[in-house]
Structure 1
Amino acid sequence: MNSKKIVITGGPGTGKSSLINELVKRGYTCLEEISRQVILDAQKEGIDQLFLSNPLLFSELLLKGRQQQFEDANIHTAETIFFDRGVHDVIAYMDFIGDTYPQHFIDACENLVYDSVFILKPWEAIYTSDNERYESFEQALQIHDHLLNTYSRYNYNLIDIPFDTIENRADYILKALQM
């Protein structure tokens, strides 16, 4: 079955994971963000912030994981699959730090096409940092701009999710998708 692939993206601390959890609670198939696991695995190896110490390796691991999620979605039986971030987020973050990346990053963004992309703006009222989220709110704003630019570069019309309760944000997405 060819499932509809829907990305929910946004900078750090915008409520993506809470929104994904709400969709899961409602019975939708969602693929969770993998960066936290990459970070935790690196920390077990004694690397406090892999993205800061080796951004290309960190991004390679994310890209590989997100490509695998995309491929897994191609054989999934759910009609619609929600992704907590897409492959394009990898390039947006690399652009944010001003680092270069190999051609296969660009190829992945050109070849793996999502059906819709929803974006959450930075929301200072809910923003918190933690052991895996080191960015400041000001950096979250900059990352948001890079996400907008990256997805637009690959011809996506991002759908902005308004500030609201988690339940209402989920309703907004489902209504936009006519689900």
Structure 2
Amino acid sequence: MAGYIITGGPGSGKSTLIEGLRQHGFRCYSEVSRQLIRHQSMAPDGVLPWKNLPAFASLAFDAMIDQHEDALGSSGICFFDRGIPDIFGYLEAGGYRGSRLGYELCEVPKTTVDDRITFLNTVTG
């Protein structure tokens, strides 16, 4: 598996690019945060980033690990709409830079670490 994480700011075309790649037959993984927000907002005590960022980041991290483990079992090229590094960006922007949570998230199971992951930053302009 060769993986590419598509990252960039809001509205920069990440999801549109992922959908185009999916339509061309590539294995693509949707943005975890969007899926979690959709699911968690339906629960009366849902974990949402604007209510509890550390708990949401932990849920997103676990879901991204699941995506990566699924991708490791496939051959070919995989594309991810955002990735684990984005979680650290959210935490830093939310005032959690250097928090214990960041260190806990760094304890990634060895099976999910793959040196063939490449980051692609979308460019707007």
Does 1 or 2 have the higher relative contact order (CA < 8 Å, sep 6+)? Answer: 2
Q: 1:23-80: per-residue Cα shift (whole Å, max 9, x none)? A: 0111111111111121112211136881011001110110000001111111113x11
Q: What is the percent sequence identity of the aligned residues?
A: 29
Unaligned stretches of 5+ residues in structure 1: 124-162, 164-179
TM-score (structure 2 length as normaliser): 0.84
Structure 1 match to 2:72:
74
Larger radius of gyration between Structure 1 and Structure 2: 1
Higher helix share: 1
CA distance in structure 1 between the partners assigned to 2:106 and 2:61 by the alignment? 11
CA distance in structure 2 between the partners assigned to 1:102 and 1:87 by the alignment? 11
Q: Please report the RMSD computed on the Cα atoms of aligned residues, expressed in angstroms.
A: 2.2
Alignment: residue pair count: 120
SS at match of 1:107: coil
Unaligned stretches of 5+ residues in structure 2: none
CA distance in structure 2 between the partners assigned to 1:112 and 1:11 by the alignment? 25
| Aligned residue identity for 1:18 | T
| Aligned residue identity for 1:17 | S
TM-score (structure 1 length as normaliser): 0.60
SS at match of 2:38: helix
Aligned match for 1:15, one of 8, 13, 16: 13
Aligned match for 1:85, one of 82, 86, 95: 82
CA distance in structure 2 between the partners assigned to 1:75 and 1:109 by the alignment? 15
SS at match of 1:108: coil
Question: Matches of residues 1-179 of structure 1 in structure 2 within 5 Å?
Answer: 3-46=1-44, 50-77=48-75, 79-99=76-96, 100=99, 101-108=101-108, 112-113=113-114, 114-121=116-123, 123=124, 163=125
CA distance in structure 1 between the partners assigned to 2:79 and 2:73 by the alignment? 14
In the alignment, is the contact (CA less than 8 A) between 1:88 and 1:109 conserved in 2?
no
